[in-house]
Structure 1
Amino acid sequence: MKILIKGAGDLATGIGWRLFRAGYRVWMTDLAVPTAVRRSVSFSRAVYEGKAEVEGIRARLADSLNDGQKISSEGCIPVFVDPEAVILEDFKPDVLVDAIMAKKNLGTKITDAPFVIGVGPGFTAGIDCHRVIETKRGHYLGRVIDSGSAIPNTGIPGNIGGYTVERIIRASGDGRFMPLTAIGDRVEAGQIVAMSGNVPVKAQISGIVRGILQEGVLVTRGMKAGDIDARCERNHCFTISDKARAIGGGVLEAVCGWEHGI
């Protein structure tokens, strides 16, 4: 079975990782300049590094249908710079998963593939997709919704290590982003962790840098540019999160159910 995933950030990667491990043929798309902050566990890294590996699964940048087929035959996941998912027309997937995480539907239609899954808010099962996967942390995380929508976005990040909004690193100014710390580094509250448009970006809490944008990304003031984890478990920076695994499990459940006519 062929599956195309729109998006290759950390949550989309958790989905792709689980589907690939279950034996499905997975292709992914992303922006020309990905903005996933959890780069160490995102296949989108292949866009600017040529390749990426997450927990033993490898991905490589692809530039054509034939290139994607070659990469897939070699046991890797092809990642295309294809924001509009134009490759959909030639690849003709059995399943399309919209995991862009834009909090709204940017154009996915229920007719795009025989089975279409929308991840998170902005989709309605039975209208613009066949199934929706809940992405809000808590009791319903990863739930497969066959009628209706996911819980609306609250705008408040999930609680990790006792912190919500405080753990997010946000750009302090418009311009190019320059990280001064690396994923896995320990930082203290008030420490300058990056520059954005020549304006210092300071950590609000002490902890470990779990994610931070790559050098050179154009940012706007207030844009999410990183994440600090107060739990300080360095291994968490380089492994798929509990949230991504749960969402990936929900997508896998939906795909398997459809495949078996459930």
Structure 2
Amino acid sequence: MSQGSSYFVKPLCLTGEKPVCIDVCSGCCCSTRYSFPQKKEVVSKMRCAHYGVQCCEGGECAPKCCTTDVKPIQSTAFGGVGVPMHKVKINEEYILCAACCCMATMFIPETDADARGCEVLDRRLCCEMDMKFDMAPETPTDYAVYIDNIYQYACISPTTCFKGMARVSCMMIKYAFPCDDEVPFSIACCGLVLVGESAKFKSPAPFRPSSAALVGGVESSSSKGEYLPSNLGSSSMSQQHGVPVAVAVPINGAPESTEMER
């Protein structure tokens, strides 16, 4: 149906490798083109004309009517289209929340390029929309610094009612009806899956159920299944004439007099 792309590129016009500005457009039996400095593939001759009447050519006065020596646009004039894009690598996904046929997940990017950009893919019956913004190129040394936007609208054979995905940096929103392997039916909150399959996605570490209860950063003895009475083999502090005196407490609970008390 339609497609387009836009890129931020390196200013190679400073070295003379690329022109300062260039525009090539062709449709039906008409074409519009300009280039500075002159590029032979785009503009064969420098001339000034309007509505088929030429007044000058190459900086000199050369009046003509209905100029016919305009060369067709060469294929090399459309350079810079189709810059290879970096494909984001997603090894493991962590589920944040889910509601039946939609879910929110996160992943850990391996490189800076994996965390850049936004992607939107939406399929509804026979219509598909694919959009990407601020994506990194496949090779950083390419002419394009980064891909501003790429969009495509197409008619496809319907395979589902609707299905889509939206990614912003390392966060993703997925939805599908009916559900499939990529978006399984599930109900989850804060990484805890209540209903549905959870083998495909991991639970974030802060929300995982821990087998050991931590008290003050130290594992408590009760979490190990042990119970120690508070008066078993312990010692207490008592005061005698205003002076703290250690008192040993035996197992039976009867205090014994210490040497200091004697």
Q: Same fold, TM exceeding 0.5? A: no
Question: What is the TM-score when the length of structure 1 is the normalising length?
Answer: 0.18
* Structure with larger RCO (C-alpha < 8 A, sep 6+): 1
Larger-gyration structure (1/2): 2
Greater fraction of residues in helix: 1
